[in-house]
Structure 1
Amino acid sequence: MIPPKPESRQERVSLWRYMRLFRRDILSAQPQKLYHAWMAEFKTPFFRSYMVNDPALIDVVLKLRPDDFPKSDRVGAGLRPVLGNSVFLTNGEVWRRQRRIIDPSFEGGRLRETFDAINAAVDAALVRLAAARNPCEVEFEASHATADVIFRTLFSVPIEDKIAAQVFDAFRRHQRSQPILNLAAFIPLPRWAPRFFKRESLETAQTIRSLIREMTEKRLKEIDAGTAPDDLATKIMTTVDPETGDRFDVEEMIDQVAIFFLAGHETSAAALSWALYLLATHPEWQDRVAEEVADWEPSFAALSQLRVTRNVFRETLRLYPPVPMMVRETVQPEEFRKRVVRKGAQVVLSPWHLHRHERLWDRPDIFDPSRWDDPASQESQRQAYMPFSAGPRVCTGAGFAMVEGVLLIARLTKYYRFEPVDGRVPVPEAQLTVRSRDGIWLKVTPRG
């Protein structure tokens, strides 16, 4: 069984057709040749775009010279109403300062401290799944579970908390109303120019930021009073930049909480949904996970025992990387594969195509978690696997996501069996993350 994959577009289409395809789904807007090409150039009247699949060039952009390829605001413009000036969108010294304050809260020792909160969210997810309708739309359940993880680890409140529930609802409405790519993705506009956002998008963004402000200001008062819980929000808000001695002010913290929620909840939900679907359609692997966790008791130390489950999650991230594409911009003329690249060109790095590249992976479209134990696959894993990006801008929460994903897969599979629903094959499509066009529907039954 080959997991679902979007159909590629025709080789040549008009710019207008391409823009329409791109706004609907950035994956099916791409031609088939990108699964084989080392590089492809896309020309518009306003800019040049280069998709890079050559591992050596990817290393230059992400690892060797990252300052020469800052994040492009063509994508960021669509996210600023809710994310502001968060670490996901910034560049240069602003980004470095933000990372100096954020990174210590996600180091190994502190990651261990979040385990009980993550596990409590999984407990709640197991209870909700028992009461869910069958067949079950697992994307919604996964979104609920991963949002609960974020609220418990960040602010020590479950998703049932009134403000947490309002933030969750507002984010869902915002994502339905606002495609990530707006006019600025195709036409160079100055920062002051209007972006023509929908009214609903601006209203939901304002709601989200107002609710986060309320939680942030409450936490600042608790920190001042010495009553704040020792969670991620407290750690980040009390961390001092070692170079400047500064801390995040309220506005900066609102920006960071917004991206923690969007990145930590939306990407994790997408990965978990696809993992459950892949297990449902590959029952032999689901049985192997269930066998591995049958007598397993959750703890941070015991996670290292879950080799099969971890390989299932890795393979899910290969086939369905939550963030399918990343866009950088050149700050000076470059030469890529003997081709002149002008200053201001867009450099597209696509985990989606890299992870399925025909020259880099054996049977790239097949779900095969055993490849992660195969020595012959090690070079592909090293060169062509970057679900969390790479280099200095690798996702701060990569370790957190691996703990969360493995734990959720392990415990959900321990207590429930997942089976596909006839006639409901999910169709992957992507805006910010790789989701299913009409949800992912599975039969969910308790294990005996």
Structure 2
Amino acid sequence: MKDISKVQQPSFKEALRFWFKLGWISFGGTAGHIAIMHNYLVDKKKWISNSRFLHALSHCMILPGPEAQQLAIYIGWQLHGKKGGLVAGILFVLPSMFILLGLSIVYVLFGNLPFISAMFNGLKPAVIALIIMALFKVAQKALRGPLHFAVAAAAFACMLFFNVSLLLIMAGAIILAFIISYLHPSLFHHKKAAEAIEDEHGYYINKYSTKPQTGFKIKPILKLIGVALFLWLIPFVFFNLFTDDVHFWDSLSLFFTKTAFVTIGGSYTVIPYVAQFSVSKLNWLTNLQMTDGFALAETTPGPLIIVLAFVGFMAGYNHFNGSLLMGTIGLLASTFYTFLPCFLFVFAGAPVVEKTQDNPLVEGILGLITAVVVGAILNLTLFLGKNVIFPGGVEIKSLDLISLTWIIVSLVLIKKFRMNVIYLVGLSVLFGLAHYAIANIHGRIL
């Protein structure tokens, strides 16, 4: 069918304005990001049809990295080629990076002040509530039968009791998918919702549009890999020429590069992996600092995976004895190495992934990987939650009833009253300050 559309291609300047705006208003995590893009790009501007939007989103779920940012890169690429994809992806992250840098500096300089600590004490229970809600939302969509429930439970047990890395668990899920597809493929079958009928020709990009650069073409992919490798090496040269502890920076760069390749499933998948290694093995920051970083990331726009930038900041800051400069370099390096592969995955991988559409084996693999994500989120909930509810150790006498109560209140506000994340964050900060003030007054009276 001919590529006919009633909507003209948006100008690059018009798209640029939207991507810039998106970087500053994209609160609410992945669901919030997708909702904003869908409302503007599909409903308001009709730059892309609903079917192609969901089609692109499903591809981004396959790729490692934050799917909302990769969706922006993907749509930017479809609208204006690689130039559009670069602008969309960079502007999606840049505002949150600068905001988090400012918050990180405030955190290390004034975090020990009572009122600052009180603010974070109010935020932490709300963060746990947000993770719990994410767990239920993902589980409802991902666990479609006994097989998926079993894989999620096994993934959770492996991470909690045996400290197995997420990468190994995902590899095991892929192997299991191959075995099941050969022995019992019917286990993968599930009912699909009927597709909504819409006027595809009322959109600039629709299901009849010619897909750019589909299929596997070795020369363009090798060129992209070469460019990405060149960019990847630039910070190494800087570290070797201008820093003292080259080993630390090499370790940080390699760690966040590796992290970027195991983030299938989005931010909630990578955070347990980063928390496990940066806290328990690398000793870059403490468990409570990791929870504080998660709370900081919740207050910024952009992808939640930006919490990795905070980890990089704390790693540089702590390793170099409280140096704000080294902390800033750590934040910039961790951001660079976390998000650089995202552009490579979309530009090189998306055309290839499109050819796997409706492939039963690929759908089966994705289903098991998503089940692993559920187990990872549950593990994250316990990993962070136990330090909020039991700050003095997991025993009844150290139970923090105030934090437990605010977790429940936050869940009610999110679930029943559908409170916006920004409002919940603000209310939680006020709750923390109010609790501190009341406790302080009570202490003076006594």
Say yes or no: TM over 0.5.
no
State the TM bucket, normalised to the shorter chain. under 0.3
Bigger fraction of residues in helix: 2
Question: Scaled by the length of structure 2, what TM-score is found?
Answer: 0.27
Q: Which has the higher contact order (CA 8 A, sep 6+)?
A: 2
Bigger fraction of residues in strand: 1
Question: Scaled by the length of structure 1, what TM-score is found?
Answer: 0.27
